[in-house]
Amino acid sequence: MKKATTIDEQIELYKNRNCELDIDEKEIKQILMDVGYFRLGFYSFPFEETYPKKEYRTHIYKKGTKFSDVVLLYDFDFDLRITLLKYLNYIEINFRTKLIYLVSNYFKDTTNTWFVSPKVMSSEYIKNFDKKMYDQIKEKSRSIKQHHEKYINDKYAPAWKTFEFATFGNLVVTYESLLDKNIKTLIANEYGIKNENVMLSYIRAVKDIRNVVAHNGVLFDYKLERPLKNSPLIIISNENKNKLYSAILVMKFLMASISESRSKNMEKDIDFVFNTLNGNPKLKSIITDSSGYL
C-alpha cells in the first residue's frame, strides 16, 4: 500500500527520476503545496520516458527534463482554462436562450411545459425528467420554489423558468431528445448549421470542454467523449476528431455566429495563450501532439 509523502520526499522523487530542479527549492516547495504533487503529476507525465503509456510506467523522466517545464505546462493549462471559460459561458447562455425561445414559441399554442409532452419529447426523456433534472432544479432554485408556492397546482414551472436553471448537460440532452426534427434544424440554423446531427455533435463537444474547465480538470490532452462530426463548416482530420483544438475550432465557429466582435476577441485570447509556448519547442511539441493544435 502506498503511503503519503512529505514535500521533501516528493522533491527527492523528482531528483531520483532524473528531473532537473532548476528552480529554487523554496519555490518548489511552495508550488507543491499550492498545486499538489498528484495534480502536478498530470503535467510531468508527458516528460516521462514511457509516455504516453499508462501501464508499466517507470516514472523516469527523459533526459533534459526540467521542473520549470512541468510548471510551465501547468501554467499554460491553467491560463487556457480561464481563457476558454469566458467564451464557454457566452455559448452556453446563448444556446440556453435560443433553445427556450424557439421551442417555447414553436409549441406556444400547445403547452408551456413542452418538456414533459409526449408529442414533443422522447418517452425516455420524460420518464427521467423529474429524477435527473427537475428535482435538482427545484432544490437549487429559489425562483422555482417561489413559483410552486404561488401556483400550487402547477406540477412544473414554464419552460422559460425551468431551463434557466438547467445545467448545460441538461440542455444538450433536451435538444437531443426533441422529437420534431424541424425544431432541431431551426435551432441549428441559428448557428449557420443545416444538419441537426452536426449541431448535436458541436454542442456536445462544447459541453464536454465546459465540464472539464468548470471542474478544473486537465485540459491540454483532453479527449472528447465522442469524435466530432465532419461537415463543410469545419473540416477535421480523423486523428484530430476528438482532440482539444478541434473542439476549440467548434467554439470559434459558434462564437462567430453569436458575435463577430467576441469571436475576434476569443481568437486573439486563445492565440495569446498558445503563443506563450513559442520559446519552448519541447512544450510546443507536447501541446501539438496532445491537443491537435497547429
Consecutive H or E run containing 114: none
Digit-coded pLDDT (tens) for 69-107: 999 999 999 999 999 999 999 999 999 999 999 999 999
Q: What is the pLDDT of residue 271?
A: 94
- What pLDDT was estimated at residue 9? 96
- What per-residue confidence (pLDDT) applies to 70? 96
How many Cβ atoms from other residues are within 10 Å of residue 68's Cβ? 15
Please list the ranges in the chain whose pLDDT falls under 70.
Answer: 294
88: left (phi over 0), alpha (psi -120 to 50) or beta: alpha
Residue 48: per-residue pLDDT? 94
pTM > 0.85: yes or no: yes
pLDDT of residue 55: 84
pLDDT of residue 249: 95
The single residue listed with the C-alpha cell 459561458 is 89
Name the strand (E) or helix (H) holding 51.
none
Q: 178 has which bridge partners?
A: 121
**pLDDT at 294 (0 to 100):** 66
DSSP code string of 122-182: -HHHHHHHIIIIIHHHHHH-HHHHHHHHHSTT-SS--HHHHGGG--HHHHHHHHHHBS-HH
Residues facing residue 48 across a β-bridge = 61
Q: What pLDDT does 25 receive? A: 94
Phi and psi at 85, nearest 5°, equal: -55, -45
